[in-house]
């Protein structure tokens, strides 16, 4: 069984279609079993083992550029991650690679591994042996940076949730930070200053070739309800002021009923503001690494304006995809068409 939080491949412009078998599943204990179409490893075409890999886990290619850092490159009709050595790289990793930081966890770690450094080294060796080549979000980056062999990393910096914690007014929801009326503090003038200061942590990492790139946040509440949500904040709130000014500029003094077109346009406006601020901070302090943008989740799967806007700023569109055995082809096609960028599944799970 795969771990719950597993980051997947960089997906490409087109998706291979494989045979499907029927598998009986139940959504939870006590629920009826039913057959659903399922792709399994047995359905995949047999591919000869790669003859060699570079130190990062990529397959050498004469067609890929060698830049000294991870980057994306479209070769023919297919997007690839490319390693610093110029190897073609499919990122396959696990989130939250870290010790169980409890008294009991620390005792067992010492008994089993002798030291924290040994735990990190043996964990990376195990992951590389099983074919994993990436440490995903929430992993213990400092510990994993000192191992031999090494493993490529993605880093999560939580700009908005970090700012919200400093500002006040946030609350905890399942898996992510909650905001008043689902309105992140995108329009706060202080958010710009915070992001630049927060991103100064990246200065010490900017020349590290093992870092694939940086996530700005996890699962922010993007939705087409945002315009009304901001307008229902107190009138003195900067978010309300920004939304009202946007609506007035769009319709003038003669305010009309808010339309679906207004909702979609405002959502794109809010996303563009957020990505402009966080992207500028990350690119300023880590210019050699990829900007992975925010980790998106299911509330935006059907919203083309989100993917078009992310594509303007981020190097890869990153999506957490739950409650499904595999991504829908129509989702992947629309996301790639709107963004023009490669896609990465940054969380999914398989249940057994």
pLDDT tens digit string along 65-83? 999 999 999 999 999 999 9
Measured CA to CA, the distance from residue 205 to residue 56 in angstroms comes to 17
Average pLDDT, the chain: 90
Provide the 10 A C-beta neighbour count for residue 221.
19
Pick from 349, 300, 299: nearest CA to 6: 349
- Residue 348 CB partners (closer than 8 Å, separation 6+): 6, 8, 320, 321, 322
pLDDT grade for 7, boundaries at 50, 70 and 90: very low
pLDDT attached to residue 19? 54
Domain 6-25+157-347: which topology? TIM Barrel (3.20.20)
* Phi, psi for residue 296 in degrees, rounded to 5: -80, 160
- Residue 244's Cβ-side half-sphere holds a number of Cα atoms within 13 Å equal to 11
Please list the residues that pair with 163 across neighbouring strands: none
DSSP letter string over 166-220?
A: HH---EEETTEEE-GGG--STT-HHHHHHHHHHGGGGGGGTT-TTEEEEEEEE--
pLDDT attached to residue 324? 81
pLDDT of 13 strictly over 90: no
pLDDT of 111 strictly over 90: yes
pLDDT tens digits, 191-230: 999 999 999 999 999 999 999 999 999 999 999 999 999 9
Question: Domain ranges in the chain?
Answer: 6-25+157-347
Cα separation values, 246 from 26, 170, 184, 185, Å: 47, 24, 17, 16
pLDDT tens digits, 224-233: 999 999 999 9
pLDDT attached to residue 127? 95
pLDDT attached to residue 250? 93
User: Which residue bears the tokens 């409650």?
Assistant: 323
Hey, CA dihedral for 178, 181, 182, 186, is it positive or negative?
negative
Mean pLDDT confidence for 235-262? 92
Q: Give the start-end residues of each E strand in 44-191.
A: 59-60, 71-75, 78-82, 87-89, 93-94, 134-135, 152-156, 171-173, 176-178
pLDDT tens digits, 137-195: 999 999 999 999 999 999 999 999 999 999 999 998 877 789 999 999 999 999 999 99
- Residue 39 CB partners (closer than 8 Å, separation 6+): 18, 19, 20, 21, 325, 326
Hey, CA dihedral for 284, 286, 290, 293, is it positive or negative?
negative
pLDDT grade for 49, boundaries at 50, 70 and 90: low
The separation between CA 273 and the C-alpha centre of its own chain, rounded to angstroms, equals: 18
In contact, 290 and 313? CB cutoff 8 Å = no
In contact, 268 and 310? CB cutoff 8 Å = no
- Residue 340 CB partners (closer than 8 Å, separation 6+): 311
Q: Are strands 34-38 and 21-25 parallel, antiparallel or unpaired?
A: antiparallel
pLDDT attached to residue 14? 35
pLDDT grade for 50, boundaries at 50, 70 and 90: low
Pick from 286, 299, 303, 289: nearest CA to 339: 303
The arrangement of strands across the sheet holding 211-218 comes to 6-7, 93-94, 134-135, 152-156, 211-218, 290-295
pLDDT attached to residue 52? 84
């Amino acid at each position: 069984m795969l771990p719950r939080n597993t980051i997947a491949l960089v997906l490409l412009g087109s998706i291979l279609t494989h045979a499907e078998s029927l598998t009986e599943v139940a959504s939870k204990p006590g629920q009826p079993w039913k057959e659903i179409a399922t792709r399994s490893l047995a359905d995949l075409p047999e591919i000869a083992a790669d003859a060699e890999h570079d130190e990062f886990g990529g397959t050498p290619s004469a067609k890929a550029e060698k830049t000294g850092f991870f980057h994306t490159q479209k070769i023919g009709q297919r997007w690839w991650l490319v390693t610093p050595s110029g190897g073609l790289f499919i990122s396959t990793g696990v989130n939250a690679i870290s010790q169980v930081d409890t008294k009991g966890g620390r005792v067992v770690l010492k008994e089993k591994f002798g030291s924290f450094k040994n735990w990190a080294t043996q964990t990376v060796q195990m992951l590389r042996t099983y074919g994993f080549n990436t440490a995903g979000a929430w992993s213990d980056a400092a510990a994993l940076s000192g191992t031999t062999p090494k493993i490529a990393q993605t880093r999560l910096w939580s700009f908005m949730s970090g700012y919200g914690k400093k500002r006040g007014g946030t609350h905890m929801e399942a898996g992510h930070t909650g905001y008043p009326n689902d309105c992140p503090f995108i329009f706060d003038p202080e958010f710009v200053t915070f992001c630049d200061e927060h991103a100064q942590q990246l200065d010490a990492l900017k020349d590290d070739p093992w870092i694939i790139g940086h996530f700005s946040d996890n699962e922010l509440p993007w939705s087409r309800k945002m315009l009304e949500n901001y307008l229902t904040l107190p009138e003195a709130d900067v978010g309300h002021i920004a939304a009202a000014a946007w609506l007035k500029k769009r319709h003038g003094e003669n305010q009309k009923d808010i339309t679906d077109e207004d909702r979609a346009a405002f959502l794109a406006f809010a996303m563009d503001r957020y990505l402009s601020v966080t992207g500028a901070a990350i690119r300023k302090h880590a210019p050699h690494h990829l900007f992975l943008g925010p980790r998106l989740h299911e509330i935006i799967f059907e919203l083309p304006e989100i993917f078009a806007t992310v594509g303007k700023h981020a190097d890869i569109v990153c999506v957490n995809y739950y409650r499904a055995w595999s991504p829908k082809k129509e989702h992947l096609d629309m996301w790639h068409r709107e963004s023009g960028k490669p896609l990465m599944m940054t969380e999914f799970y398989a249940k057994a």
